[in-house]
């Protein structure tokens, strides 16, 4: 049996300003403080290693945990955030352009078996497949306790895949849309190597923030 401790990154500038983020969006001062606080929790959890998304905000969060607990960070693209259309990067989520693009994405999300594409974004089919690949990757790790620092959307899809491993895209998306994850929240899942099954232990624990 192994446990995976998923951590959403701390508050980023994009979260605070409510803009569509790039790979290089950093943490705010609040986010940096949150990262230090969650790092203290891992002095008691004692994971063997940390895997992090390549996005700066996730790496900054992971680095705070690594520094506090003398751990090394492994970067893995499987845990990066869902890629939206490049046209959205840097603009307000409340802008008319953002609203129009997201409306069209929502209307056509499941067309072409989930492979319809507005421009250069990751399709819902690709996104679900990446979550599945992420779980397969984690199931093959030898560590008994492992931390993964990632993002809200990819983590929500990973959890949806655990809850409904054989579901179609519409069923997965219905689960994916129905919960939220706070900055630096911890969600814990376990994998039974003998039964080859996943179980969710907890979702969105951010009690360390008070």
β-strand partners of 51:
74, 148
Give the residue among 98, 14, 17 at the shortest CA–CA distance from 58: 14
Percent of the chain with pLDDT over 70: 100
Residues 6+ apart with CB under 8 A from 44: none
Confidence at residue 105, expressed as pLDDT on a 0 to 100 scale = 95
For 38-59, what is each residue's pLDDT tens digit? Answer: 999 999 998 999 999 999 999 9
pLDDT value, residue 167: 84
Beta carbons of 137 and 78 less than 8 angstroms apart: yes
The C-alpha atoms of residue 193 and residue 135 are separated, in whole angstroms, by: 13
Reported as half-sphere exposure (CB side, CA atoms, 13 A), residue 119 has a value of 10
Picking from 178, 79, 55, the residue whose alpha carbon sits closest to that of residue 133 is: 79
The answer to whether 158 and 78 have CB atoms below 8 angstroms apart is no
Average pLDDT on 154-180 reads 95
pLDDT digits (tens, 9 = 90+) for 173-202: 999 999 999 999 999 999 999 999 999 999
- pTM for the full predicted model: 0.96
Mean pLDDT of the chain: 97
pLDDT, position 143:
95
pLDDT in tens, 82-114: 999 999 999 999 999 999 999 999 999 999 999
């Amino acid at each position: 049996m192994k446990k995976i401790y998923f951590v959403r990154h701390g508050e980023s500038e994009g979260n605070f300003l409510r803009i569509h983020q790039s790979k290089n969006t950093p943490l705010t001062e609040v986010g940096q403080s949150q990262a230090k606080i969650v790092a203290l929790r891992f002095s008691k959890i004692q994971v063997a290693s940390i895997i992090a998304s390549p996005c700066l905000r996730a790496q900054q969060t992971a680095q705070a945990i690594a520094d506090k607990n003398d751990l090394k960070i492994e970067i893995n693209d499987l845990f990066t955030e869902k890629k939206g259309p490049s046209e959205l990067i840097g603009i307000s989520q409340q802008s008319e352009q953002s609203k129009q693009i997201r409306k069209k994405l929502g209307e056509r999300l499941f067309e072409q078996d989930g492979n319809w594409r507005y421009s250069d974004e990751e399709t819902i089919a690709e996104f679900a497949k990446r979550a599945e690949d992420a779980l397969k990757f984690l199931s093959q790790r030898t560590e008994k306790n492992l931390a993964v620092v990632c993002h809200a959307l990819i983590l929500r899809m990973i959890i949806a895949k655990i809850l409904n491993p054989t579901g179609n895209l519409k069923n997965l998306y219905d689960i994916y849309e129905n919960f939220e994850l706070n900055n630096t929240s911890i969600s814990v899942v376990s994998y039974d190597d003998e039964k080859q099954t996943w179980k969710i232990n907890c979702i969105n624990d951010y009690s360390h923030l008070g």
